[in-house]
Amino acid sequence: MLSHLLHLQGIDSVVVESRSRKYTEERVRAGVLEQGTADLLTETGVGARMKREGMVHYGVELRFGGCGHRIDFKDLANGRAIFVYPQNKVVADLFDARLAANGRIFVEAADVSVHDFGDASAQTRPKIRFRANGQPQEVECDFIAGCDGFHGVCRPSIPAGALTVFERIYPFGWLGILAEAPPSAEELIYAYHERGFALLSMRSPEISRLYIQCAPDEDISQWPDDRIWRELHIRLATADGKWKLTEGPILQKGVTGMRSFVVEPMQYGKLFLAGDAAHIVPPTGAKGLNLAASDVLVLSRALKEFYASGRKDLIESYSKTCLRRIWKAQRFSWWMTSMLHRFDTDNGFDQRRQLAELDYVTSSRAAAQSLAENYVGLPME
Ligand code: DHB
């Protein structure tokens, strides 16, 4: 995305990707785009397939006590919406756009390392070294953007002590499945249940994406398909018994841990961290991909200003600008997570607090509006 945004400003970039194109385009990841992220794709000319295949949702359901309560974005968030369109398709669309514009992308890059980025005023230029097509490569550049994820090389290449880590690890994970079954609801359902959280989402009119709260180190081999469906039926059931969950062949399943994580600052000399390289949110509320999009939008504008006028102030304030939005999304993701999951240490207090919170959020316009405006996304900058 950053490479695409820079290209539109006439700024050259090289993308170094450790995976294959096929892997990045097929790996199932997030699926919910905030209004601002969807607008960014459309405005920059990479939103055509999203418009065709994506699903616009004007609400979500909170289900608890066997009863569904809709949060109506049209009414509560000024007509803004979310777009259900898978991240791997966004990546594929961006690959197409960059290659159509003769963008340089190295895929399956091995042994990637970053160098000479530490001093923002130094004359030496940063370098990225790696192996591609069996050959050693070196890219010399003005700046490095570390968009290489939580496990990437950029963050650990910054000297210890320069970054402060803020972190919270949750005592649960999500077991997620992709199923060849038409979604059983038109909108997403976040279900609170005494056995744990469940989420009904989707990828297309034919494919459902469903999650259940599990142990962080849950052994997936203990979850044959029929056990997963049984648990989903229980956690998503309505008290009137009218709602039906449609089953289908499970195409993929996996367990993800959950953490909140932020490093500050998000820049060191001529290296900028963006997306998961700098921060992780627990998945509840689907903010991860959207935060990565707003980070690179801020960075592209800062670089545009630098190349147009030589002004460095936007570059120097990159971290501060991003962190204001990131911390609000951290707060929202933590809040959604705390409201909807079962905590093993609970002596009954949390359960009552959670039910009171859900009751409040679905009966107070002010509280529902707060959820809605965060869910569709706070301003990108
Ligand atoms: C999805 C993931 C989320 O974390 C969420 O809150 C909603 C939907 C998804 O993968 O579809």
pLDDT confidence band for 345 (50 / 70 / 90): confident
Please report, for the chain, the start and end positions of each structural domain, with discontinuous segments joined by +: 2-57+84-167+259-341
pLDDT tens, 23-77? 999 999 989 999 999 999 999 999 999 999 999 999 999 999 999 999 999 999 9
pLDDT tens, 181-238? 999 999 999 999 999 999 999 999 999 999 999 999 999 999 999 999 999 999 999 9
- Looking at 118-122, 229-233, 284-288, which range is the least confident one? 118-122
Q: Kindly state if the Cβ of 209 falls inside 6 Å of ligand 1.
A: yes
State mean pLDDT over 148-155: 98
Q: 234 alpha carbon to ligand 1 midpoint, in Å?
A: 20
- Give, for ligand 1, the residue of 57, 84, 201 to mutate: max count of ligand atoms closer than 8 Å to Cβ: 201
Report whether 149 contacts 226 (CB < 8 A): no
Residue with tokens 């809605």: 372
* Sheet hosting strand 55-57, strand order edge to edge: 32-34, 82-84, 55-57
The pTM of the full predicted model, rounded to 2 decimals, is 0.97
How far apart CA 33 and CA 352 sit, in angstroms, is 32
Give the pLDDT score at 323.
Answer: 98
Q: 131 alpha carbon to ligand 1 midpoint, in Å?
A: 35
Tell the CATH superfamily of the 2-57+84-167+259-341 domain. Answer: FAD/NAD(P)-binding domain (3.50.50.60)
Mean pLDDT of the chain: 97
Give the pLDDT score at 255.
Answer: 97
Q: How far is CA 90 from CA 63, 118, 202, 366, 369, in A?
A: 30, 32, 16, 34, 29
Q: Kindly state if the Cβ of 207 falls inside 6 Å of ligand 1.
A: no
Q: 3 alpha carbon to ligand 1 midpoint, in Å?
A: 26
**DSSP classification of residue 275:** G
Is 90 exceeded by the pLDDT of residue 347?
no
pLDDT confidence band for 344 (50 / 70 / 90): confident
* For helices 35-43 and 288-309, angle between their N-to-C axes, nearest 10 degrees: 40
Is 90 exceeded by the pLDDT of residue 362?
yes
Closest CA relative to residue 130, chosen from 146, 149, 107, 147: 107
Q: How far is CA 120 from CA 154, 155, 237, 267, 269, in A?
A: 16, 17, 57, 10, 4
- Give, for ligand 1, the residue of 27, 211, 213 to mutate: max count of ligand atoms closer than 8 Å to Cβ: 211
